[in-house]
Amino acid sequence: MSGLDPSAVVPPIGDWLLHGSVDDPAVLAATDAMPDYAILPWANVVKIGGQSIIDRGRSAVYPLIEEIASNLERHKMILGTGAGTRARHVYSLAMDLGLPTGVLTVLGTAVAWQNAQMLHYLLARYGIPFIEPEGFSVLPHYLMERGAVVCQGMPPYKLWEQNPPVGRIPPHRTDTGCFLIAEVFGARKMIYVKDEDGLYTADPKKDSNARHIPRIALHELLAHDLNDLVVERAVLEMLQHARHIREIQFVNGLRSGQLTAALDGEPVGTIIFRADEEVA
Amino acid sequence: MPDESNEARHVPSPLMRESLMDKGVIAGTESPVRAILPHANVIKIGGRSIMDRGREALLPLIDEIVANQSQHTLIIGVGAGVRSRHIFAVGLDLGLPTGVLATLSAKSAAQNAYMVSCLLAQHGFVYLEAPFVVQLLPGMLAAARGAVFNGVPPYDLWEHLPAVGKIPPHRTDAGAYLVAEVFGARKMILLKDVDGVYTADPATTADAQLIPRISAGELAARQLPTLPLDRAVLTILGNARLATEVQVVNGLVPGNLTRALNGEQVGTIVHR
């Protein structure tokens, strides 16, 4: 038996791929030159924080639900949820039991799922569905018809999550999962809704000298090598290699109107951007 | 800023209120990991190297797997092969992103895995999709000492972005390795059509030497243009807690799989 005949039906790149190694730098460079089709260029991915928003209950969530509803006519939104305090509890328990990082991801996914379900019920009266990762093929239809969908923010890695270099916490959590949704669909915006006005030089909850950063280049932020960050480090690593997403925005979901302003393209909160020279 | 009535409701835990992005908090979570399936062995049947060759390559290997069933528990991952290369080519030509290519390619590996499970069905092996690996695998291993899974990790649309180009970086060697690591498997064996990792391409270089044992970091540093295993495995192996070795053996040579399962030095061992 042999493989398919590349001369018959395959596009030009096929000669490389059918005969070469996909780890060969020359083959990778050839794929780098291929076009990038934006699948949902008008969609906005909005991540609603777990510990920062949903764990606060209705005082934080109800106003945000109203703000989301008021934007349904104007902006298409993929709403991903964070995990929060129950994930921290189950991570602590599972680590105490000696369970590996992949199992922690399975457990953390369930918490983000719970939060997504609650958000979904609060938005149900507007016809907003909850969709599982396996159901993403219907996502474009709901965005066109209803303006938004709710999904859990964890990437569906399950037991296949990779170990972090240090410690046991899954390195790819809901910030990363939502970022990858934005990137794969070529979305218009990636907005993180948290409980701070964006990025600070230190954790403003713990350090009164922490200063707000309205806009910062990715390479500059990485050069600071901060001890703590507003976003998972994996997001910053992936932003370096992204082909569609050029910036990510962080807004305070406890301040009415910030999400709307971000959706309207205003520079609220903090924007982390890739400077032009970083764009390969 | 929020007032007191707007405080988050916390569940008490050592990580409560902590930033999981804080380096100190992350370092504080370092702790021993327990092997979930310490007696299981993960083996991976190569896509292009074994499956695409058809019965001539695969049936002797199936016989060898069955011959080892009474001695060794085998979790069998299967590679995607040439059909995945073909759909990469079409998808790339259409401008589709890495996450879509990963989702599409996983179906090619699923076809191969399903075929392998059909050949092993009379011995009790079943093909398990990722959600069933999460839930049913131990039961299937207890019943039949073996099961078959899709080598492509279930990253789908959420596949990581490669540093260069658009090919999904986590393919079936990486996916199979991650199964070995999370379960703390006894062995991770990659079955290929070469005797292991060489100092140069043995097809083009006469004095290429087989490397019996090498660290993942050293192998990555050599920057060999082609490797018989996914480059991503070298990176992931660097963070191994339990599965600290990957053995690359020639699955076209009868007896190699058995020797590797019995702990013999055959092929190349890449270690953490």
Q: Which of chain A's residues have a Cβ under 8 Å away from the Cβ of B159?
A: 180
Tens digit of each residue's pLDDT (9 = 90 or more) over A52-96: 999 999 999 999 999 999 999 999 999 999 999 999 999 999 999
SS3 annotation, chain B? CCCHHHCCCCCCCCCCCCCCCCHHHHHCCCCCCCCCCCCEEEEEECCCCCHHHCHHHHHHHHHHHHHHCCCCEEEEEECCCHHHHHHHHHHHHCCCCHHHHHHHHHHHHHHHHHHHHHHCHHHCCCEECHHHHHHHHHHHHHHHCEEEEECCCCCHHHCCCCCCCCCCCCCHHHHHHHHHHHHCCCEEEEEECCCCEECCCCCCCCCCCEECEEEHHHHHHCCCCCCCCCHHHHHHHCCCCCCCEEEEEECCCCCHHHHHHCCCCCCEEEEC
Which of A40, A160, A193 is best to mutate for the B interface (most B CBs within 10 A)? A160
Residues B133-187: tens digit of each pLDDT: 999 999 999 999 999 999 999 999 999 999 999 999 999 999 999 999 999 999 9
Angstroms from B161 CA to nearest CA on chain A: 6
B247, B188 in Cβ contact below 8 A? yes
Pairs of residues, one from chain A and one from chain B, whose beta carbons lie less than 8 Å apart: 267
What is the reported pLDDT for B4?
A: 47
Q: Residue A172's closest CA among A186, A193, A153?
A: A153
Is A244 within 8 Å of B21 when comparing Cβ atoms? no
Q: What is the ipTM of this complex?
A: 0.90
Cβ contacts of A103 on chain B, cutoff 8 Å: 36, 182
- A169·B85 Cβ contact <8 A: no
Sorted by sequence, the CB contacts under 8 Å of residue B139 that are 6+ apart come out as: none
Question: Residues in chain B with pLDDT < 70?
Answer: 1-6
Share of chain B above pLDDT 70, in %: 98
Cα B54 to Cα A197, B50, B177, distances in angstroms? 59, 7, 24
In terms of Cα–Cα distance, which of B138, B150, B145, B270 is closest to B214? B270
Tell me, what DSSP letter sits at residue A129? P
Could you tell me what percent of chain A has a pLDDT over 90? Answer: 79
* Inter-chain CB proximity B31 and A160 less than 8 Å: no
